[in-house]
Structure 1
Amino acid sequence: MASVESQSRFGQSVKGLLSDKVGCCSGDVIALPRQVLKGSRSQESLRKMSIITTHLQYQEAIQKLEHSKNLQDQLRHLLK
């Protein structure tokens, strides 16, 4: 009788451990796609920031060119 009872407790113990392990793994399985999505979003954000940086550099170059043209016009006007 003690043997049957100890086997039953052992079975319950193993069931509990397996249940805990499955719960832990299913949490990991859920977390993995979230991390992948985060990584995708991070890559997308980096790509967008790169585009914005390039755009701002173009704007700065255009502003410098306009400023240069204004200075040239002022210089021509002064030299007349």
Structure 2
Amino acid sequence: MKKSKVIPPIMIVVAVLATIILNQEEYSEVTIINKILIIVGAAVLSSVIGYFLLGTDVDKVDPKPTNNIVNKTNKKK
């Protein structure tokens, strides 16, 4: 899976959660412009963090080791 397939869902989830949290009664004093800026900022920041944390090869799996020392020592006993 490529990073480009994972980043938009991360942004959408963060934006929806930020919208739900900011629409609570406790945040009624925050203006709509500030709410929009907070939501967009949270989505962008989460996508940047996700981009760097996902690494370069998301699908790459390490090959099976050929000389596993742990298994050889257990077989000798």
- Structure-1-length-normalised TM-score: 0.35
* Higher normalized contact order (CA 8 Å, seq sep 6+, divided by chain length): 2
Give the number of the structure whose residues are more often helix, by fraction.
Answer: 1
